[in-house]
């Protein structure tokens, strides 16, 4: 047997016969502490996999990112085994590990309900307690097809028939067999902490033309403490759900009479959005952007020329006017290019930074719509920068600085990714894609910002930097993007007159900072649990009277607040003060200003924070100044 050299984590090297199982290389130690998988030169391997090539060995332990993925994948198999044990005749389909857990899709004659989950969990615990070995088998493709046909598993047969490989891998535990690449845990007993969370429907292979399946979600963690923390965060996420808060705070609604995925902003929600938009306009203007506006529909020929019709039309809406085809815009870039082309440009004019709070419409599938986070009509804080190739690096770095400044205002940490060229459906030359990708990478490295590569997830016209912000519950959301595009300027024949008097092609940078306003408001609502900072709160203070005799004085205070630009409401109802305070706290209004007989006599108000903390009584002017100070961002007042 041909020997291969494996370099261990401690720096030592050893020779092994080719095909040695990875588990035979395991270090000594307690069973619970042993690795659950390994990587040879970065390639993830099951402990039962043969080592076919030498290289650098890295052990994967249960507490690592890959270890948790292996744990969750194995737990999904245990769940499938439990379901088939409890509900004979159920057919299994696929059951992957996902970001926060796992799921498995089943073809069942009955619908699963939350009431079924405790029963399934109980059977899973029995399987785990049996500590069944999880055995990997590599078998010829035809043998696997025969096996699953005999077991009455048509979905597995369909998957195997599409595989080009002559061999496939199967995993067995007890009487359960599944088609899977792995890797998996050595045995079911290594699963210590899991929970089934909810049920849902899902079409086979995500295609609504296929059969609706039953999906069961769950999660698993290396320790009970980690699981408990995760379940707490899930409960907190339910409490912070922006759809729930949107109703309670009267911010927005989505009415089926208007249409799915179309947002109706109520007065407080519209004011919240206006405050965000005003903030955005000021921040853009002071960075040299020019505000522009484009039409909602553009001729179909333009969308064909840009490549949207070929590569994006499934997401677009179309209409016809006097026999002429039009596309309702899903993006703002075409109008911005037409503005650029409206006159001859010199190198002295560049860079040009066009900014638009542009409303767009995209055809999202109904099953993918989700409150404000996934809608069909939304407004982007969209900008397109047209610059010389020499200016590109500086423009990207300036956008990165812009992102940093804005995310700091909202207290969002974030991570960066470069999304590279998709395999199919792109425009532009290989050379242009390489230039664009290198420009993004260079700007990040010069700014000394860490980043990861997101392979194949770029736009059809260029690679991009995706900004993944992290909210108060440690969830990631993609909002800001920076995209470099050499293809569109070429297609639309954009030009500037250079120093040499000749025409040259500019580079276009597509970018958003907050992204879709709807999505950002949804994320922001959950991040702050509806308790928006004072500068952003639709209502900053509510006046509460103790009894009716204080109303005349309270009206004067109310008008003084309004005249000073403070967003105020009043509650002068003949109700108990405690009830008024509780209702104001539910509305998450930053301050309540209580007015009783003492306040009237001494020309004061008694402020109370939404946290329940009572402040010392103060004069109205002092209170106004306090709110103004809280609304300052970088020395500027945002109210």
What's the angle, vertex CA 16, arms to CA 11 and CA 17, rounded to 5? 160
Of 480, 483, 362, 470, residue with least CA distance to 419: 483
What's the angle, vertex CA 376, arms to CA 370 and CA 380, rounded to 5? 100
Catalytic residue among 72, 136, 362, 511: 362
363 catalytic, yes or no? no
- Helix, strand, coil percent values for the chain (each to nearest 5): 35, 30, 35
380 catalytic, yes or no? yes
Catalytic residue among 73, 230, 384, 511: 384
Tell me which DSSP letter residue 260 carries.
T
387 catalytic, yes or no? no
Of 74, 65, 18, 72, residue with least CA distance to 39: 65
Token look-up 């080592």 returns 51
Cα separation, 148 vs 63, in Å, equals 34
Note whether 118 and 199 are within 8 A (CB): no
Catalytic residue among 242, 510, 588, 608: 510
H helix or E strand, kind and range, residue 340: helix 333-340
CB atoms within 10 A of CB 113: 9
Catalytic residue among 195, 242, 336, 464: 464
Catalytic residue among 46, 116, 382, 432: 382
Tell me which DSSP letter residue 452 carries.
E
382 catalytic, yes or no? yes
Catalytic residue among 215, 240, 333, 374: 333
In degrees to the nearest 10, what's the CA dihedral of 282, 418, 234, 85? 150
Tell me which DSSP letter residue 109 carries.
S
129 catalytic, yes or no? no
Cα separation, 605 vs 550, in Å, equals 11
Q: Kindly report whether the peptide bond that precedes residue 183 is cis, defined as omega within 30 degrees of 0.
A: yes
464 catalytic, yes or no? yes
CA–CA distances in Å: residue 344 to residues 294, 370, 518: 20, 44, 36
User: If 0-12 CB within 10 Å is exposed, 13-18 middle and 19+ buried, where does residue 42 land?
Assistant: exposed
- Active-site positions read 333, 362, 380, 382, 384, 464, 510
């Amino acid at each position: 047997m041909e020997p291969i050299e494996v370099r261990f984590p401690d720096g030592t090297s050893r020779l092994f016969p080719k095909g040695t199982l990875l588990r035979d290389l395991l270090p000594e130690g307690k069973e619970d502490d042993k690795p659950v998988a390994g990587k040879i030169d970065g390639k993830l391997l099951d402990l039962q996999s043969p080592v076919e090539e030498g290289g650098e060995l890295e052990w994967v332990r249960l507490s690592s990112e890959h270890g948790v993925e292996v744990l969750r994948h194995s737990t999904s198999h245990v769940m499938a085994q439990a379901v088939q044990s409890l509900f004979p005749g159920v057919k299994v389909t696929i059951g992957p590990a996902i970001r926060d857990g796992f799921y498995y899709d089943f073809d069942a004659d009955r619908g699963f309900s939350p009431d079924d989950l405790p029963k399934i969990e109980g059977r899973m615990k029995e399987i785990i307690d049996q500590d069944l070995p999880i055995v990997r088998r590599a078998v010829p493709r035809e043998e696997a097809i025969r096996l699953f046909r005999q077991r009455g598993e048509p979905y597995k047969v369909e998957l195997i028939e599409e595989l080009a490989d002559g061999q496939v891998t199967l995993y067995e535990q007890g009487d359960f067999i599944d088609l899977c690449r792995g890797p998996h845990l050595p045995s079911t007993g290594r699963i210590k902490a899991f929970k089934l969370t909810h049920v849902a429907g899902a079409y086979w292979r995500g295609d609504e033309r296929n059969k609706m399946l039953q999906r069961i979600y769950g999660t698993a963690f290396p320790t009970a403490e980690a699981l408990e923390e995760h379940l707490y965060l899930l409960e907190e996420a339910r409490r912070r759900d922006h759809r729930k808060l949107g109703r309670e705070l009267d911010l927005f609604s989505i009415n089926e009479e208007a249409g799915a995925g179309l947002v109706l902003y109520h007065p407080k929600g519209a004011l919240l959005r206006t405050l965000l938009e005003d903030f955005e306009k000021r921040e853009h203007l002071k960075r040299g952007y020019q505000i522009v506006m484009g039409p909602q529909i553009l001729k179909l020929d333009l969308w064909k020329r840009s490549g949207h019709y070929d590569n994006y039309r499934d997401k677009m809406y179309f209409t016809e006017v006097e026999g002429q085809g039009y596309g309702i815009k899903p993006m703002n870039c075409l109008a911005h290019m037409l503005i650029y082309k409206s006159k001859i440009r010199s190198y002295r004019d560049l860079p040009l930074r066009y900014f638009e709070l542009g409303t767009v419409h995209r055809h999202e599938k109904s099953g993918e719509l989700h409150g404000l986070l996934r809608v069909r009509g939304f407004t982007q804080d969209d900008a397109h920068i047209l610059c010389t190739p020499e200016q590109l690096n500086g423009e990207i770095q300036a956008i990165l600085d812009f992102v940093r400044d804005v995310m700091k205002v909202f207290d969002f940490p974030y991570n960066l990714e470069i999304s590279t060229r998709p395999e199919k459906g792109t425009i532009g030359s290989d050379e242009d894609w390489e230039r664009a990708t290198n420009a993004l990478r260079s700007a990040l490295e010069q700014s000394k910002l860490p980043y990861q590569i997101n392979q194949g997830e770029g736009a059809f016209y260029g690679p991009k930097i995706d900004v993944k912000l992290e909210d108060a519950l440690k969830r990631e959301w993609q909002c800001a993007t920076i995209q470099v595009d050499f293809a569109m300027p070429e297609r639309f024949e954009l030009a500037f007159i250079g120093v040499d008097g000749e025409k040259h092609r500019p580079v276009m940078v597509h970018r958003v900072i907050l992204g879709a306003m709807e999505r950002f408001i949804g994320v922001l609502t959950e991040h702050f649990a509806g308790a928006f900072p004072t500068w952003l709160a639709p209502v900053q203070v509510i006046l509460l009277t103790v009894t009716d005799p204080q109303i005349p004085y309270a009206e004067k205070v109310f008008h003084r607040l309004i005249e000073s630009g403070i967003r105020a409401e009043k509650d002068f109802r003949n109700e108990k003060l405690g009830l008024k305070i509780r209702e104001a706290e539910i509305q998450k209004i930053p301050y309540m200003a209580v007015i009783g007989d003492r306040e009237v006599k001494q020309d004061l108000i008694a402020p109370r924070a939404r946290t329940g903390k009572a402040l010392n009584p103060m004069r109205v002017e002092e209170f106004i100044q306090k709110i103004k100070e809280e609304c300052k961002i970088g020395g500027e007042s945002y109210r």
